[in-house]
Amino acid sequence: DAKTTQPPSMDCAEGRAANLPCNHSTISGNEYVYWYRQIHSQGPQYIIHGLKNNETNEMASLIITEDRKSSTLILPHATLRDTAVYYCIVRVPGSSNTGKLIFGQGTTLQVKP
Amino acid sequence: GAGVSQTPSNKVTEKGKYVELRCDPISGHTALYWYRQSLGQGPEFLIYFQGTGAADDSGLPNDRFFAVRPEGSVSTLKIQRTERGDSAVYLCASSPTSGGAIYTQYFGPGTRLTVL
């Protein structure tokens, strides 16, 4: 699985958009970009995933560059409850491999009032 | 619906003892994963089950660690002769292998193991 690079920490004001970047310059054509977050003392929580098109769900939006070498997770109106470690992971989903997630250090997002 | 559950939530044991950690996956999820998370680190993969069989156990650190899933649902992670270095949060995740959320992993709250 391709390696990802994320900034170790970011701050965001409550109510503003939080934009979390991720670099995955060695991503291969069949690898998806997944985002998870982990709130303190809880298990990781799935947020969103995508292959090449931008994706949106009730939690967030995922913007993937045209060359797929980087992506941005957008939380449109951050709240204090969004304070967490955010992990960007690239992997190939499917029965052809184990599908295990390889977590890096992630980005610690601190939402401030 | 019910998510992944793990018991106990906390386990304190003494060095050299045997422990069992239980995971109840989301009903109908055929894939089950165990991860271990040390303080300040991201989760690390331990083992993956597809149904009853361990399809990938490459993450188990040594032969003191073993996991089973005899009926393809509940899984138990077993650690023999525990060492202080085994102290961590043990996370379980499950995923469907069909349907709209295919292969997306959903995590339980974890079991915090402390070896004294």
Give B26-83 pLDDT, tens digit per residue: 998 989 999 999 998 999 999 999 889 888 899 999 999 999 999 999 999 999 999 9
Q: Is A109 exposed, middle or buried (0-12, 13-18, 19+ CB in 10 A)?
A: buried
CB-CB contact of A6 with A72 (8 Å): no
Any CB–CB contact under 8 A between A46 and chain B?
yes
CB-CB contact of B90 with B107 (8 Å): no
Q: What is the pLDDT of residue A94?
A: 60
| Distance in angstroms (rounded) separating the CA atoms of residues A25 and A3 | 8
Residue B1: pLDDT band (50, 70, 90) is low
CB-CB contact of A82 with A70 (8 Å): no
Q: What is the pLDDT of residue B42?
A: 92
Any CB–CB contact under 8 A between B107 and chain A?
yes
Q: What is the pLDDT of residue A1?
A: 60
| Distance in angstroms (rounded) separating the CA atoms of residues A59 and A103 | 20
Inter-chain residue contact A46 with B105, CB threshold 8 Å: yes
Q: State phi, psi for B85 to the nearest 5 degrees.
A: -70, -10
Other C-beta atoms within 10 Å of A21: how many?
Answer: 15
pLDDT beneath 50: ranges in chain A:
95
Q: What is the pLDDT of residue B87?
A: 97
Inter-chain residue contact A99 with B95, CB threshold 8 Å: yes
Alpha helices in B30-83 (DSSP H): none
Inter-chain residue contact A99 with B103, CB threshold 8 Å: yes
Q: What is the 3-state secondary structure (H, E, C) of chain B?
A: CCCCEEECCEEEECCCCCEEEEEECCCCCCEEEEEEECCCCCCEEEEEEECCEEEECCCCCCCCEEEECCCCCCEEEEECCCCHHHCEEEEEEEECCCCCCCCCCEECCCEEEEEC
Inter-chain residue contact B97 with A95, CB threshold 8 Å: yes
Q: Chain A closest CA to B105's CA: distance in Å?
A: 7
Q: Chain B closest CA to A92's CA: distance in Å?
A: 10
Find, among B14, B13, B20, B17, the residue nearest to B34 by Cα.
Answer: B20
Inter-chain residue contact B45 with A102, CB threshold 8 Å: yes
Inter-chain residue contact B42 with A43, CB threshold 8 Å: no
Q: What is the pLDDT of residue B102?
A: 60
Q: What is the pLDDT of residues B78-109, one digit of tens each?
A: 999 999 999 999 999 999 876 555 678 999 99
Q: What is the pLDDT of residue B104?
A: 85
Q: Chain B closest CA to A76's CA: distance in Å?
A: 23
Q: Chain A closest CA to B113's CA: distance in Å?
A: 13
Q: What is the pLDDT of residue A93?
A: 67
Residue B8: pLDDT band (50, 70, 90) is very high
Residue A37 tokens, joined: 């977050």
